[in-house]
Amino acid sequence: MTIAAGTKLGRYEIRSKIGEGGMGEVYLAEDTRLHRKLALKILSADLTQNKDRLRRFEQEAIAAAALNHPNIAHIYEIGSSPAVSEGSDASATAGDETHFIAMEFIDGLTLRDRLMSASLAISEALDIVTQVASALSAAHEAGIVHRDIKPENIMLRRRDGYVKVLDFGVAKITEPSLAGTDAATLVKTAPGIILGTVNYLSPEQARGLAVDARADIWSLGVVLSETLTGRKPFEGLTASDVIALILTRDPTPFKDLTEVPPELQSIVMKTLAKAKEQRYQTMEDLARDLKNYKRKLDWGTGPQFDVSGAGIITEAERAGNSAVDRAIISATRGPQPPARPPNNLSDQLTLLIGRNAELAEIEELIAREDVRLLTLTGPGGTGKTRLGVQAAADSLPDFADGVFLIPLTPITDPHLVPAAIAQTLGLKESGETSLQETLKRHLRDKRMLLVLDNFEQVVAAAPLAAEILVACPQLKFLVTSRVVLHLRGEHEFPVQPLELPDLRHLPPLEVLSQYSAVALFIARARAVKPDFELTNENARAVAEICMRLDGLPLGLELAAARLKLFPPNSLLARLENRLKLLAGGARDLPAHQQTMRAAIDWSYDLLNENEQKLFRMLTVFVGGFTLEAAEAVSGATGEDEMDILEGVTSLADNSLLRQKEQPNGEPRFIMLETIREYGFEKLAAAQEAKAIQRAQAAYFLELAEQAEPELSGANQAAWLDRLQAEHDNFRAALNWALQNGESEIGLRLAAAFWRFWLVRGHLSEGREQLDRVLSGAALPPEARAKVLTGAGTLAQNQGDYKAARTLFEQSLSIWRQVGDKKGIATSLHNLGWIAWRQSDYATAHSLSAEALALHRELGNKQGMAHAVNNLGWVAHHRGDYAAARSFHEQSLTLRRELGDKRAIAFALTNLGWAIQKQGDYQQSLSLIGEARALFRQVGDKQLLAFSSLIMANVLHDHGDQKEAQALLKESISTSHEIGSKYNLAFSLRILGDIMFEEGDQSGAVDLVEKSLLLFREIGDKYGAAFALCILANITSEQGEHERAASFLNESLKLRTEIGDKHGLIECLESLASVALAQKQLERAVRLSGAAEAMRESLNIRLSPIEQKKPDRTKTAARAGLDEQAFAAEWSRGLAMTLEQAVSYGQS
């Protein structure tokens, strides 16, 4: 039953019926939410009663939706909904569910229709089949075989001839009888039954056997043969006749039909080998041969034939064409993009007009293997960004790892270009690795396109871009810039103004409207004045406006925005006055920039006085602003009478501002950089810049100081996101303060902002800015100490412990001088943390205990939490897990009271690890899992990676090696990305231990040696001692017992030095294993007894996995000694002090 136009299925509104077939009907519909046309396949009511058929109907959509390829028709949704007629009550039909597939609506024709309408040249046939092969290759890689390739399932998009493959799995649904049906009918898909359209079946399909990708290769070979000859290679009156020919006869020879070059004949015949082992084995192989042959054809080394034969197609064949597939064809355009690889490209709100030729050239250059750096050059306002973004969006399918836009307009410092790229890609800096190296590591194996927008102001960063390209062979840069980068391998593409008509010979209206500059003007005019039309009366004025603005898109858009106030002739008069005013501008400026200046000047003059003042004021913001910020700056400058909301709305209406909605729903306003530069000149000329910049700096100082306590509170995630959005404004405020001698503003801003740099990974930038502040004018002591604390924290997070210690000591000295107990305590626990990181546990304990006493005296819970956290780590690394647990529980309690999610998560991780060492694995995993969720909330990659490796360590000790390895690989990847050497060394050590236990000794040695080098590099004696012990275990297993003993002696020395009792026990147990391997049974028993006694004294419980090692040693030694000898040595070991045991182990 036909569904009436206007009927709604959920958010889809039926427009018209465009076809029907065995499984149901196809309708043209509109998505009322996204406002796009699409095709709706409706399953017929009788089929919905059969659950099996309904399931197979759903499988079509699931199969197709899983594929992401530009040559595969995209499935948007599979679903069901009551059909609600226009004007009816939705509840009336609520019980009648209609099942549908919403899919891409393609404007084009099927290959069948193309074959029926005209002959195909060999070049066209090859182009079509090669695109189909590319689509099927992607499907095969995803484990999907189409099984019904035929001309009816191949669409040619009308606007560009682009090929789309349809209906993955549709043949699984329709089930006509086989006997006596004509040769073009689909047949059924039950087990053992033939699947596909008969003329295109492979022999294995015809026999009802299992099929693989080579069945599609056969079917595509049939299609290729048909496109070249005009007829099918296997034809008969019934399906049975055709199947018999497929199974027993060779295809009709080419020479009997038409001339096809021998090399191409060979390709076709190889696809049609009856034994699938003799065909092409992959679709990729077939596509390569087709491309190579077409290249020869294009280069003129092969003949080109025009192949006819459409008249051979019979009416019976036409009748058998898939009505459902052909129903998708329509003369109305409306293709939707396929599912896209990762990207941050926003859907454009306006069409790109007049750039088809340039777009095609740019996309061709991007696709070329020899083009790695493509620079779109031209003056401001030519539309470089819009053109570049569109080319990038169209090129998405070619970049599996994504396409990302990097806006460089907010920055002027070339050294911040890597930071801008990293921020867009979600990378953060940590450790001693530079951001440049972090980017190279991350992008080294990525097939990715990065669009570097507005590069001219940071052109000194060009060598940095070249360095990244050299290190990343699959990476490409698309750059927009007013200047060429002058790099080797750079391909320049000058973006010209839009095409203009000749005013001396004005063409007819229909021709005039096709000039790209005029077309853009008309489109933008209709956006503000929907009834605007190009007429004989206004045609010359419109053409002259376009000419006066040199066809620059920005100027045209600004001019068109005023059509709601002025008709074209009046608009032209106003515009001409402004152009004459600035015609004699500075000659060192490009001519087009002078014209753009005139266009903006004209727009500025049309504003009223208050609007002009507001426009000038808003140019102080970099990277955008909120209404709150604009109101604050306006109020600070004595402009309280100005209606900011009304003024901002007016500026947005005048295309001087663009509005962007924030995640919280509040608007954010952005000014184009060219317009902002123009406005800032006006601000300076009005002698208002200093006051406005001071007000801007004051606002962001207040915001930073308001945010500072929140960054360690319950709302820290929201505040971090807010500061991230304003990062460019904070940079501008700090730079203004430091450049204009406003040292107090700069100092306070840096002191309040450093924690943001820490958590969001801007470590190098933060240290550089804090160094600038510290090296400036004399500062108040308290403020200087606060900045020193921030600088030290950033330094220690990069592994620069020497610098961190110096900075914290300077801070401590200042706090002691001024008698600030809170500052003293903070510096003490910071120095205690550095001492712990460098394995000076005695000093770490002493400093942290002193800090804790002061924090308690002051009632400073946050400081207390820091201090007891330090004490917990010291106890942990000394093997006193009961004390470590107690300290971390205290820290967690305090941090929960404070609501600091990041600190809570850190405390949970530390507590979980201590509890694991006491043998409670389930509670440990639960605590660390809770911590990981919190780290994700606040966006802290460094501590998330740390929690991953701690959880992996717990899982490893508990015997879950598979999950442990997955977490370690995640941690290693993140640690490489952010440059965290501690996390990386720790992860490599655990992974090496796992590989050793799984029997891969050489791989284990490689990983643990790398871990040891990193621990030594950062001065972590605890980690180095641990790695040495693992190396000893591996080398002993390899029979190198003397070398193993050497490793263990070095580990004993380090662990004695740092007071790691648990580590000493581990070393003694390993030494016992080495002694056992060397047949020194008495020594093995005595060392085992000593280890057992110390473990009991420290109340250390081993996991079942850990217990296996001492049990093996004890059992083997007992078997080799008589009971009396064993008992004697065991007693001697139990009686040893720790010092005696260590001395005996080293002997």
Give bridge partners of residue 37 from the DSSP assignment: 30
Q: How far apart are CA 425 and CA 423, in angstroms?
A: 5
Closest residue by Cα to residue 1080 from 1040, 1116, 1124: 1116
Please report the beta strands in 430-579, taking only residues with DSSP state E, as ranges in sequence order. 448-453, 475-481, 490-494
Is residue 148 annotated as a catalytic residue, yes or no? yes
Find the largest Cα–Cα distance for the chain. 119
**What angle, rounded to 10 degrees, do the helices at 861-877 and 841-858 form?**
160
Task: Give the Å distances, CA to CA, from 547 to 381, 499, 718.
Answer: 15, 9, 49
CB count in 10 Å sphere of residue 56 = 20
Contact criterion met (CB below 8 Å) for 25 and 17: yes
Token reading at 396:
């998405």
Helix 539-548 to helix 516-528 angle, to the nearest 10 degrees?
110
- Neighbouring residues of 620: CB distance < 8 A, sequence distance ≥ 6: 633, 680, 683, 689, 692, 693, 695, 696, 732
Type and span of the H or E element at 75: strand 75-84
Q: How many helices (H) and strands (E) does the chain have?
A: 50, 21
Q: How far apart are CA 1144 and CA 1088, in angstroms?
A: 12
Token look-up 């913001």 returns 621
Contact criterion met (CB below 8 Å) for 711 and 720: yes
Beta carbons of 619 and 600 less than 8 angstroms apart? no
Q: Nearest Cα to 227, choosing from 316, 322, 310, 108?
A: 310
Selecting among 148, 325, 453, 993, the annotated active-site residue is: 148
Q: How far is CA 359 from CA 352, 379, 478, 490, 493, in A?
A: 10, 18, 13, 18, 11
- The phi and psi torsions of 109 (rounded to 5 degrees) equal -140, 155
User: 3-class SS at 606?
Assistant: coil
Please tell me the distance from the alpha carbon of residue 287 to that of residue 126, in angstroms, as a whole number: 10
Q: Contact 736/690 with Cβ under 8 angstroms?
A: no
| Angle 410-693-413 from CA coordinates, rounded to 5° | 30
**Are 812 and 831 within 8 A, CB to CB?**
yes
DSSP H/E element including 469: helix 462-471
Q: Tell me the residue type at 333.
A: R
All residues at 6 or more sequence positions from 913 whose CB lies less than 8 Å from its CB, including other chains: 876, 924, 928, 950, 953, 954
Q: What is the DSSP string of 403-465?
A: EEEEE-TT---GGGHHHHHHHHHT----TTS-HHHHHHHHHTT--EEEEEE--GGGGGGHHHH
Report the alpha-carbon distance of residue 992 to residue 1006 in Å, rounded: 8
Per the structure block, which two tokens stand in for 830?
A: 């910071």
Specify the DSSP element, H or E, that contains 756. Answer: helix 743-759
- What count of other Cβ atoms lies within 10 Å of the Cβ of residue 489? 11
Cross-strand pairs, 25: 20, 42
Active site residues: 148
